[in-house]
C-alpha cells in the first residue's frame, strides 16, 4: 500500500478513485506518564512522554487508514493528511485521512 | 526512569499511610485509598503501540518504502504491510542511531 501526501505518484496513474478514507485514534499517556510529563515540563526541554504519545498515535491512525483503504479495495492512498485535537486535558485525537485509489503503472 | 520514580514515590506514600494507620492510629484512610488506586492504575497502564519487533517477517508480509527512526529506542524501523489483512508491522532494521 503506497501512502503519499502528494496528488500523483510518479510512474503510476489512477485507474479508479475508491473514495475518502480515514483512520482515527484517541490516546492518552496514562496517570504515571502525565505526572512525569508535568514534572518534566517544569525543567524544560523535550517532553518525551508526549513525544512518544503523539508518535504512537500517528502510527496508529495511519495503520487504521491503511486498513480501511485496503478494505475498500485500494492499493494506494494519495493526499494523506493528519489532523489533531485535544479531548479533555490529557487525551489526544489524531485522524489520518486521504483518498483511496487504485494505481496502475503508467504504460 | 522518571516514570519509575513517580511510581516509587506513590508506593512509598502508600506505605507511609499504612504505617501511620497501623502504628500511630492516624486516620489517613482517604489518602491511602487514593494512593492505592493511583498505584494500581500506574502499574496496569498500557504503554506503547507496536514497539519495533526483531526479525524480518515472512510472506505475505511485504516491505514498504517507509522507514523512520523510533524516538524511544533510536532504532531504524521499516514498515511491513500484509495485503491479505491490511495490517502493518514495525520491524527494527539496523543498529541504534546515536
Mean pLDDT to the nearest integer, B7-23: 88
Give the distance from CA A104 to its chain's centroid.
Answer: 24
Distance from CA of A59 to the nearest CA of B (A): 8
> Between A104 and B50, whose confidence is greater?
A104
Q: CB–CB of A77/A42 below 8 Å?
A: no
Surface of B (51-70) touching A: CB under 8 A = 64, 66
Chain B CB contacts of A49 under 8 Å are 3
Residues A35 and A75 sit within 8 Å (Cβ to Cβ): no
Confidence of residue B97 (pLDDT cuts 50, 70, 90): low
Report the pLDDT value the prediction gives residue A50, as an integer from 0 to 100.
84
ipTM (interface pTM): 0.80
Whole-prediction pTM value?
0.82
Give the residue ranges of DSSP H helices in B45-81: none
Q: Is the omega angle on the peptide bond into residue A77 within 30 degrees of 0, that is, cis?
A: no
Tens place of pLDDT for every residue, chain A, 107 residues? 899 999 999 999 999 999 999 999 998 877 777 888 888 888 888 888 888 888 889 999 999 999 999 999 999 999 999 999 988 878 889 999 999 999 999 97
Per residue in B26-40, pLDDT (tens digit) is 788 888 898 888 888
The confidence score (pLDDT) of residue B49 equals 81
CA A37, CA A32: separation in Å to the nearest integer? 8
Chain B contacts in chain A segment 31-90 (CB below 8 A): 31-33, 35-36, 39-40, 48-49, 51-52, 55-57, 59-60, 62-63, 66-71
Q: Do A33 and B45 touch (CB under 8 A)?
A: yes
Arithmetic mean of pLDDT over chain B: 85
Own/partner pairs, B64-71, CB within 8 angstroms, 24+ separation: B64/A1, B64/A2, B64/B88, B66/A3, B67/B93, B69/B97, B71/A48, B71/A51, B71/A52, B71/A55
Minimal C-alpha gap between B85 and chain A (Å): 8
* Cβ–Cβ gap B41/A39 under 8 Å: no
Q: Are A19 and A107 spatial neighbours (Cβ–Cβ below 8 Å)?
A: no
Question: Grid coordinates representing A67?
Answer: 486498513
Asked if the C-beta of B86 comes within 8 angstroms of chain A's C-beta atoms, the answer is yes
The phi and psi torsions of A5 (rounded to 5 degrees) equal -95, -5
Three-state DSSP class for residue B90: strand
Amino acid at each position: 500500500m503506497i501512502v503519499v501526501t502528494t496528488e500523483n505518484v510518479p510512474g503510476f496513474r489512477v485507474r479508479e478513485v475508491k473514495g475518502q478514507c480515514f483512520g482515527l485514534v484517541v490516546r492518552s499517556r496514562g496517570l504515571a506518564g502525565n505526572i512525569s510529563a508535568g514534572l518534566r515540563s517544569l525543567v524544560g526541554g523535550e517532553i518525551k512522554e508526549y513525544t512518544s504519545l503523539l508518535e504512537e498515535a500517528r502510527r496508529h491512525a495511519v495503520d487504521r487508514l491503511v486498513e480501511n483503504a485496503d478494505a475498500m479495495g485500494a492499493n494506494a492512498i494519495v493526499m494523506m493528511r493528519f489532523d489533531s485535537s485535544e479531548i479533555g486535558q490529557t487525551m489526544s485525537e489524531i485522524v489520518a485521512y486521504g483518498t483511496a485509489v487504485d494505481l496502475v503503472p503508467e504504460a | 526512569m522518571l516514570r519509575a520514580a513517580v511510581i516509587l514515590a506513590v508506593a512509598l506514600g502508600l506505605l507511609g499511610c499504612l504505617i501511620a494507620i497501623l502504628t500511630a492510629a492516624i486516620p489517613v484512610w482517604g489518602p491511602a485509598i487514593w494512593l492505592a488506586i493511583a498505584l494500581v492504575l500506574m502499574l496496569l497502564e498500557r504503554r506503547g503501540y507496536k514497539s519495533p519487533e526483531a526479525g524480518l517477517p515472512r510472506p505475505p508480509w511485504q516491505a514498504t518504502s517507509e522507514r523512520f527512526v523510533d524516538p524511544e529506542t533510536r532504532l531504524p524501523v521499516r514498515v511491513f504491510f500484509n495485503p491479505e489483512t491490511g495490517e502493518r508491522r514495525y520491524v527494527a532494521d539496523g543498529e541504534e542511531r546515536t
